[in-house]
Amino acid sequence: MNRFEYIEARLEDGETFVSRESNIKLYDGEQKTKFEDGELVLTTHRLFWGRPGEIARAAVTLCLHLRYIVSISEEQASNYLFGRKTRLILHLRPAAIDKAPGPLDNSRASFIKLSGKHGVYSEFASALRETLEARIWQVDASSTNSNENCEEHAKPTAKELSSREARLRMRTGIGGIERAIEAKSKETDENIALAFQDLRVLMAMAKDMVGISQVISEKIRNERGEISQDETITFKSYLLSLGIADPVTREGYSSDTAYFSSLAQQLCEMLLDPLEDCGGMMSLADVYCRVNRARGLELLSPEDLLHACHLLQGPIKLRTFPSGAMVLQLESHDDEMMAVDTLALVESNISLAVEDLAKLRNISLLLAKERLLAAERLGKLCRDESLEGLRFYPNFLINRPKEC
């Protein structure tokens, strides 16, 4: 920090504005300083740091001559609120003897750090590197005297200086900002176009994969004896992750009636095998998740799903329990047989809670509770409500054990 000077923020002859950065904090080596949340302005000759508004008023601010900067490096820092950010490390030469007064007279650090809430943006870092490479300040004869205690550098020719000024002018002022914005917008457009190309290729490949899966699925049905049950279940899970090849959407139908009828037919075709695998019954919440996972980007609203479920005909129907819970159920599902199976589980475990049955049958808590309540309505079970919760026992009042 002993390289900084207190100087009025005014441009000298031949000096031009290059770039600006806000919310910048200064470090003296690794030590934090009181100079925080300030504005950093880069010119062709110097680096100004001031409180917000001070540089615009040409007030006395901190100033670092660019001739002191030997090299620039970067480091990555983490922040819990703003994530990872970039800090600039400016490695400096020793201070000149005739340097104007500044915030510090002596400093052991040979570098300073520029940081901030969001770090230092790459545009500013690039502008600083190009300005140092151009060395426009060497054009002024006055800079020669101040460079006596610095390392000697070969003075560039007039042609080289003009080309450096031309490159630097491209980043200077409002025109430079507009060109930077235009270049950034062009790069964004190219990235978006490339992303959509990749998406189209992915969609085309997905359709091919779904077609292949349908062919293999037909072979599985025709040659069921050659494939084990475990392999069949595993492959069905693969088919589910591939999704529906041609999901029903509103855009393809002129009326809601035709749309919901076609949607109900597709739901029936899609859910028939999963319902058989999970015991003939599935909660509407599970149906919603499974259907939308298979439809991919063509998501279905809960209202459309419920409306289509009311129109289901054939092997699947919508059922509403007395508690209000709604499920999809196979028409071949028999409550009496399910109650007998539930009773056998309860008898083998003496008693069961809802969560116990859910674990034993690998079903949701909702379906487990409804199975226990259905068995209770048929007289197979009786309940015991206590501080420990709800448990179900065999109903010995109606079905007395043989030893009694």
Report how far residue 342's alpha carbon sits from residue 346's, in angstroms, rounded to the nearest whole number: 6
Within a domain: 35: yes
CATH number of the CATH domain containing 308: 1.10.10.10
Q: 285 and 229 in one domain? A: no
The enclosing domain of 9 has a CATH number of: 2.30.29.30
pLDDT for 6 equals: 92
Residue 206 lies in a domain: yes
Considering the domain architecture, whether residues 207 and 262 belong to the same structural domain is answered as no
Q: Does 232 reside within a domain? A: yes
Distance separating alpha carbons of residues 290 and 278, to the nearest angstrom: 13
Confidence of residue 48 (pLDDT cuts 50, 70, 90): very high
* Span 139-196, pLDDT tens digits: 654 444 544 445 445 555 655 655 665 555 555 556 666 666 677 667 766 666 665 5
Q: Domain residues for 362?
A: 335-394
**Same domain for 234 and 260?**
no
218 lies in the same domain as 274: no
Query: Is there a domain that residue 325 lies in?
Result: no
- What's the pLDDT tens digit per position in 110-128? 899 998 877 888 888 888 8
Q: Specify if 238 maps to a domain.
A: yes
Same domain as 236, residue 351: no
Please check whether residue 356 lies inside any domain of the structure. yes
pLDDT of the residue at 137: 80
**pLDDT for residue 286 is more than 80:** yes
Name the pLDDT band for 135 (thresholds 50, 70, 90). confident
Tally of CB atoms within 10 A around 140: 14
Give residue for tokens 């487990």: 368
Segment among 32-46, 204-218, 268-282 with least mean pLDDT: 204-218
Do residues 286 and 210 share a domain? Answer: no
Which pLDDT score is estimated for 50?
92
For position 283, what pLDDT does the model report? 87
pTM (whole model) above 0.85:
no
Q: Phi and psi dihedrals of 331, rounded to 5?
A: -65, -25
- Kindly state whether residues 270 and 364 are assigned to the same domain: no
User: Residue 146: its pLDDT value, please?
Assistant: 45
Q: Are both 227 and 197 inside the same structural domain?
A: yes
The Cα 94–Cα 71 span in angstroms is 13
Asked which of 320, 353, 375 is the last residue of a domain, the reply is 320
Mean confidence (pLDDT) of the chain: 78
pLDDT tens column, 322-381: 888 888 888 887 788 888 888 888 888 888 898 998 888 888 888 888 888 888 888 888
> Do 13 and 103 reside in the same domain of the chain?
yes
Residue 202: pLDDT band (50, 70, 90) is: low
- 367 and 385 inside one domain: yes
Tokens of 157: 């020719």
Q: For residue 42, is it within any domain?
A: yes
Residue 399 maps to a domain: no
Number of separate domains in the chain: 4
Whether residues 9 and 130 share a domain: the answer is yes
Among the candidates 320, 345, 376, a domain finishes at 320
CA-CA-CA-CA torsion for 398, 373, 362, 351, nearest 10 degrees? -40
Contact 262, 247 (CB under 8 A): no
Which of 173, 88, 96, 86 has its CA nearest to residue 129? 88
Q: Are 302 and 207 members of one domain?
A: no
Distance CA 106, CA 88 (A): 22
